[in-house]
Amino acid sequence: MEDGCDHAFPGWRSMPVVVHRPHTDKPQPLARWKEGVRAVYPAEWLDRQGPVRELRHGLGSRHVPGLAPGGGYLMAVMRPAPGGPMRLPAIQTSLF
């Protein structure tokens, strides 16, 4: 998925990260969220169904198709849970 976005939408990894999309049946919070996304993403990006980077924590780490304004992917950008352990990448210093 990410490789496909690298090919179709160069530079997507440097686009702004937005707050989590509200999960509600009420139209106002969702409309406000979409308005906020449109304020920080270029119009042509959303018109081309470009991916939108969304800040998440916990178990919601999958990328979701079709939920970004314009119909593109919502790409998960994970943050550590408050008070949780920091995960550092493992570093291999030798082969053995």
85 is a domain residue: no
Q: 28-73: per-residue pLDDT in tens? A: 999 999 999 999 999 999 999 999 999 988 777 899 999 999 999 9
How far, in Å, CA of 35 to CA of 69, rounded?
Answer: 9
Number of compact structural domains in the chain: 1
| Domain contains 94 | no
Residue 55's DSSP bridge partners are: 77
Q: Is residue 46 part of a domain?
A: yes
91, pLDDT greater than 60: no
Determine the 3-state secondary structure of 35 from DSSP. helix
In a domain, 23, yes or no: yes
**4-19 per-position pLDDT tens digit:** 999 999 999 999 999 9
Query: Is 35 part of a structural domain of the chain?
Result: yes
Residue 10, domain member (yes or no): yes
- Please check whether residue 19 is in contact with residue 79, taking contact to mean a CB–CB distance below 8 angstroms: no
- For residue 59, the enclosing domain spans 2-78
**pTM of the complete model:** 0.79
Q: What is d(CA 76, CA 61) in angstroms, rounded to the nearest whole number?
A: 6
pLDDT (0 to 100) of residue 59: 79
| Cβ neighbour number for residue 68 with a 10 Å cutoff | 24
For residue 18, the tally of other CB atoms under 10 A from its CB is: 21
Q: Is residue 20 part of a domain?
A: yes
Residue 92 is assigned to a structural domain of this protein: no
